[in-house]
Amino acid sequence: MLSRRLFLTAFAFASIAHAQSFPTKPVTLVVPYPPGGSADILARAIGIELGKKLGQPVVVENKAGAGTAIGAKAVAGAAPDGHTLLLGTVSSHAINPAMTKVGYDPVKDFVPVSPIAAIPFVLVAHPQFSAANIADVVKMARATPGKIGYASAGPGTSNHLAGELLASTAKVDLLHVPYKGSAPALNDVLAGHVPLMFDLIATALPNVQGGKLKALAVTSVKRSPLLPDVPTVQESGMGDFDVTAWFGVFAPAGTPDAVVTKLNADLTSIIQSSEMQKKLRDLGAEPETGSPVAYARYVREESGKWATVLRKAGLAPQ
């Protein structure tokens, strides 16, 4: 018993010492997407401020491909010392692993460090589509099963699965119309070829404000300050409906607790600053903070939720 206590004490001191010396070199923040997208923009904004806190530069490295699997797998196999981090997303840690073999376990191979932000979707419709809200869409779908179409960026994407979750929650049959990317999907909704789409609020906003689309509901738990008059899907009676494109920082499994705690404290301070709050909201994102334990629980819940949605949609391995 005494030897075990001595071991644990020595381990604790070693962990603290590691945290006190961390970082000893530049920190790499891997983004599993190409440059220029929401994840990349968020990572670079956060990375600059995190570098100031750590006293070492934070280098953003884009490792795109395989639906986020290439970048996530690279971080899962990195040294667990805090010097290699991942900007993880709902795709890398919930959707993609449930759809295909990604070469990593999103729960066992990572330590969730801190949430960063979440971007809600908004269900938009062509102005000539007669539905004015979610209740109207559900009523129309029940009257004409499989006839009310919604566009998406492709099978398994967040805006596709938002539609699948709505159909499952409301117990209706909607027609999924997949495209190769959000841009062509949105273009066909704007043209009136497909009536509906779950689009990220940041990209939908100009079209809603310009009268080219009408917003029926936002997919987050709370209303968006960008569209304060638009109700949430939950407000429309759809249970605990919650769909966001969320972003957070992850470290390889085995990273010392003291390092994770330090990173979480620094990231929380950064996210809570008024400058970063404004910057994130200007991007259409809602700032988020939380402890590593709470974030780990959230990631597990999201993983289970989307695995169920994918299975019902016939997109998960049986």
The per-residue DSSP string of 117-134 comes to EEEEEEEEE-TTSS--SH
pLDDT band for 171, please (50, 70, 90 cuts): very high
pLDDT band for 19, please (50, 70, 90 cuts): low
Q: Which residues, 6+ apart, have CB-to-CB distance to 205 below 8 Å?
A: 226, 227, 284
Task: Count the Cβ atoms, other than its own, within 10 Å of residue 145.
Answer: 11
Rounded to an integer, the average pLDDT of 122-144 is 96
For residue 1, the model assigns a pLDDT of: 52
Beta strands in 206-243 (DSSP E): 214-218
Same fold yes or no, 8-119+244-312 and 120-236 = yes
The reply to whether CATH 3.40.190.10 applies to domain 120-236 is: yes
Predicted confidence (pLDDT) at residue 8 exceeds the cutoff of 80: no
Predicted confidence (pLDDT) at residue 74 exceeds the cutoff of 60: yes
Q: What is the CA radius of gyration of the chain?
A: 21
Predicted confidence (pLDDT) at residue 11 exceeds the cutoff of 60: no
Predicted confidence (pLDDT) at residue 18 exceeds the cutoff of 60: no
Q: 146 vs 45, 155, 179, 231, 244, CA distance in Å?
A: 43, 17, 18, 25, 25
Q: Determine contact, residues 102/94, Cβ cutoff 8 Å.
A: no
Annotated domain spans of the chain:
8-119+244-312, 120-236
DSSP 104: S
Q: What is the pTM of this model?
A: 0.87
| Reported CATH class of domain 8-119+244-312 | alpha beta
Predicted confidence (pLDDT) at residue 127 exceeds the cutoff of 80: yes
41 phi-psi bin (left φ>0, alpha ψ -120 to 50, beta other)? alpha
Least confident range of 10-14, 29-33, 198-202? 10-14
Rounded to an integer, the average pLDDT of 72-91 is 97
Q: Determine contact, residues 248/229, Cβ cutoff 8 Å.
A: no
Predicted confidence (pLDDT) at residue 237 exceeds the cutoff of 90: no
